[in-house]
Amino acid sequence: MTGLAPIYRFTNFGTVTSLPQRNRICYNTIMPQSDPEKSEDDLHAEVEQLRAALIEKDALIQRNIAEQMQALARLKESEERWQFAMESAGHGVWDWDATTNKVYYSHQWKAMLGYEDSEVGDTLWEWDSRLHPDDREQTYTALNQHLEGHSPLYVSEHRLRCKDGSYKWIYDRGKVMTRTPDGKPWRVLGTHTDISERKRIEEELRAARDQLNTITDNIPVMISHYTKNGDYLYVNEPTARYFNKKKEDFVGKNVRDIALKDAYERAYPYIQRVLNGEKLTFQNVIPNGLGEPRLIHLHYSPQFDPQGKVIGYYAMSQDITEQKAIERALIEAEKLAGIGTLAAGMAHEINNPLQVITGNVESLLRRIKQGKQVEQEELARKLETLHSNAWRIAAIVRSLLDYARSSTNEARPCSINEIVKSALTIVEHQFKSWANIIILTDLSPDLPPVTCDGNKIIQILINLLTNARDAMPCGGQITIQTGCQLSSNCVFLRVIDSGEGIPSDIQDRIFDPFFTTKPLGCGTGLGLAIAAGIARAHGGTLFLEKSSKEGSVFTLQLPLSPKNSEGDDNTIGLSGRF
């Protein structure tokens, strides 16, 4: 504060100019007039009256002075309390007389910058000289706006130099409290608050946000943030690139403005589920910015407010078109590798009925050439033998062709027991070469159908049977079980062997691609990985139920009602048609 000017100022005898008009006393109105005819006693009496009047008026003046002093004391006490409250809250106080540029700086104002009370003067220069050069223009612009009456308050964030030469960020607020009769600022009162820590945190948050944006813009995943209504709040650079746009092109746009109608309609049920608080994963065909349909793997997560209400959602998407093509190629390659193994045994299996056919044909030809009669009954018997063996060959070839046929990913209701029988037909010829190995079946009757690609389930079963055989080099028993678990709403297929078991330290790795315990050249390490991927693509699961020195149990579970997988991004299998 600039200090208080004197309240009482006497300009001439008999007049107190600083008091209100009603309290002014004009002494010449009560001075007695000289009258030579009056006696000394009369004059003495008038003097006494005058003295009494003066005493009364003096008492009135003293009372008014006392009231004025009490008002000043209350005002000073109020200002001291306000200043104490401000400084207790960490605010420095300044009081500027704009007509003289004299400024009162409080103790906290000075201490905030590292100064003692005696080290800072009482002029505006004390503040102006410490103002950071880069902040000067915007600070004076805000100040002049308020002084000229264009803003209700003066507010500025700027840096002031401290005693040690460093700078602190200051939140400066002020208000014109009094103006001169011609409307110019007179008394301006305000506070300083140290916001250096807040600025440091803001800078750290800004740096972290920039770093996060750099990361999200350079990862091969599309990230989007939406309101409940589907308005874009954020997209990263891969998302913008996919739609052949810039990030700013999404501002103010809705997902329906970007995605084609068909793609949005396919995603709509999942959007409704995420707005109900679900996290979910699915696949959708979404055309890119060039109009090319691409298979996209999406993960939706809801955004909640502090009260737990859904206010938006996040989407993480990845183009898996090429990945799915590679996966299909791997599945077909693994199948062809299996066909190579099966072909040798099938050749032997086909050779037996061929020998029967050729033997009977040669016998008939020889007798015909020799002119010998062939009895009708004998001819019928031989033709029946030829017919049955020909169909035997046809069945073997057909089963191999069905298995080798490139999958079209068409799902249809299938009987899991019929799938087991088809798989056994394909590998039946190999049973004879599997020394001392017995295959038993325990198939539950009247199982409900499952919607699946039968050839792919056959591929899983053949892989499990082959692994079970390899786990029993000295022979043993393989049991195939089927059944239904109504509590889990699924059908299961279980392959049990009596082999050596799987060591506990590698059980967590057996489904990893390219992991194998077989000798070099005896396996690719893709069999179980592909089988597990096929199961996930059907909404099911393939897992090692147990393994010990007495053998291993692998279980395949398939849902009675198909659903999209919510597994990891590396799922190998179907392309989302389930």
Whether 253 has a pLDDT exceeding 50, the answer reads: yes
pLDDT digits (tens, 9 = 90+) for 532-547: 888 888 889 999 988 8
Whether 431 has a pLDDT exceeding 70, the answer reads: no
Contacts (Cβ under 8 Å, ≥6 apart) of 298: 267, 270, 281, 282, 283, 284, 315, 316, 317
Whole-angstrom CA distances from 269 to 231, 239, 263, 483 are 17, 22, 11, 33
d(CA 188, CA 175): 6
161: confidence class by pLDDT, cuts 50, 70, 90: very high
**Higher model confidence: residue 137 or residue 469?**
137
**Higher model confidence: residue 478 or residue 507?**
478
**Higher model confidence: residue 86 or residue 1?**
86
d(CA 340, CA 336): 6
Give me the amino acid identity at 361.
V
- What is the three-state SS of 49-62? HHHHHHHHHHHHHH
d(CA 523, CA 323): 23
In the chain, % of residues over pLDDT 70: 77
At 381 the pLDDT is 78
Collapsing DSSP to helix, strand or coil, 287 comes out as strand
At 197 the pLDDT is 94
- Mean of the pLDDT values across residues 390-415? 68
At 7 the pLDDT is 29
Lowest mean pLDDT among 54-58, 141-145, 547-551: 54-58
Count of all residues that appear for the chain in the document: 578
- Mean of the pLDDT values across residues 427-450? 80
Residue 160 corresponds to which tokens in the numbers above? 């002031």
At 525 the pLDDT is 64
Place of tokens 């009364």: 56
Contacts (Cβ under 8 Å, ≥6 apart) of 25: 14, 15, 16, 57, 61
At 246 the pLDDT is 92
Residue 177 corresponds to which tokens in the numbers above? 């409290």
d(CA 199, CA 3): 35
At 8 the pLDDT is 27
d(CA 113, CA 92): 10
Whether 344 has a pLDDT exceeding 60, the answer reads: no
Whole-angstrom CA distances from 80 to 74, 77, 83, 113, 491 are 10, 5, 5, 22, 83
At 16 the pLDDT is 31
Place of tokens 């191999």: 400
d(CA 43, CA 36): 10
At 338 the pLDDT is 61
343: confidence class by pLDDT, cuts 50, 70, 90: low
- Mean of the pLDDT values across residues 442-469? 87
At 42 the pLDDT is 74
- Mean of the pLDDT values across residues 88-97? 82
Whether 93 has a pLDDT exceeding 70, the answer reads: yes
- Mean of the pLDDT values across residues 356-377? 78
At 34 the pLDDT is 54
pLDDT digits (tens, 9 = 90+) for 20-64: 444 444 444 444 555 566 677 777 777 788 878 888 877 777 777
